[in-house]
Amino acid sequence: MRHIPFLDLGNQYLSIKSEVDAAIESVIRDSAFIKGKYVESFERNFAEYIGVKNCVGVGNGTDAIFISLKCLGVGGGDEIIVPANSFIATSEAVTLAGATPIFVDCNEYYNIEAEKIEQSITSKTKAIIAVHLYGQPADMDAILDIAKRHNLFVIEDAAQAHGAEYKGRKPGSFGICATFSFYPGKNLGAYGDAGAIVTNDDTLAGKIRMFANHGRVDKYDHKFEGINSRLDGLQAAILDVKLRHLDAWVEQRRSAAGIYDEGLRDAVVTPRVLSQAKHAYHLYVVQVEGRDKVRELLKERGIETGIHYPIPLPFLEAYRRFGYAPENFPVAAEYAKSVLSLPMHEGLTEDDQECIIAAVLKASGNKD
Ligand SMILES: *Cc1c(COP(=O)(O)O)cnc(C)c1O
């Protein structure tokens, strides 16, 4: 039977094998495992790609959020606004920093509903974490405006948004800082855990660099206690290779999204895109009636799908202490029942897509 994977990292590797193998060999030959020139090179190239002054490589995308919060002075008693619809890393980092996540419902773009942010702001609020979910930038103008009026930091969680754009600029250059994950399955993925923080604020960048490396300025000169969360040389060298292909890969994702939009328009709710945004389609998420049955039928035809996310953050067991009910986040609660993520990667063929579209049409009762 035909098998259509959700993601195909093996195939991607084969398409850049000689470049990746050479990069890995160089790092090992130079013993540049921690810090060093490969990390510096990627940090420079990624900052330039995003269009910001500084990039600090860290261990992963969750640490990137935690480190940002700590270096902005967030701690006990503070409240941080986060979207109800995201991966747990967003709110987990808030709790880890000693603060309390305050969830806000999502809009029809699956991102935080800016109009519902203000009613959640209190005297304890310190920051808003704007997640660019599925690869689509959040409503940054509205969010930045609210933050300015209430004197709050905006941190962009851009873990899913490598290659996206908002008003011609890359996510990562709007907030005080932005965090990236290079988890293997992201649009720009390492071959293990990796992450980064980008910022135009030189002082903040310096503090982040120290905090992520034991608060040190020199080998045994520690100005304060930090943590060990560093981007390693092998991952940096691999990311530097992949960064050169990122824009072309994101364009391929956009073409694939166009084909899905066209073929599925009458059967499901296809992704809506903000007029001022360019979606990077980390995930292609539709809403479909009878989602679980549709998913089962696709599986029978060898088509892998995902659900992002089956349980909105406020309703997770991890947050039972807050006692939230579906009516507190009606949009997120509703979407969780019908969202389905279809296979999406730069190697998806038109043949695969034809197969997927036909299966979705059949499963959703629109065609035999
Ligand atoms: C993947 C992801 C993270 C966490 O990144 P890791 O590198 O896995 O720690 C954070 N936020 C969002 C929205 C993500 O999708």
Whether 194 contacts 231, CB under 8 Å:
yes
Q: What is the pLDDT of residue 301?
A: 96
Binding site membership of 91 for ligand 1 (Cβ less than 6 Å): no
Q: What is the pLDDT of residue 131?
A: 98
Burial of 283 (0-12, 13-18, 19+ CB in 10 A): buried
Q: What is the pLDDT of residue 366?
A: 65
Q: What is the whole-number distance in angstroms between the Cα of residue 2 and the centre of ligand 1?
A: 31
Binding site membership of 343 for ligand 1 (Cβ less than 6 Å): no
Q: What is the pLDDT of residue 346?
A: 96
Binding site membership of 157 for ligand 1 (Cβ less than 6 Å): yes
Binding site membership of 62 for ligand 1 (Cβ less than 6 Å): yes
Q: How far apart are CA 183 and CA 194, in angstroms?
A: 6
Of 302, 314, 305, whose CA–CA distance to 286 is shortest? Answer: 305
Q: Compute mean pLDDT per 10 residues along the chain, 368 residues long, and list them.
A: 94 98 98 96 98 98 98 97 98 98 98 98 98 98 98 98 97 95 98 98 98 94 97 98 98 98 97 97 97 97 98 98 97 98 97 97 78
pTM exceeds 0.95 for this model: yes
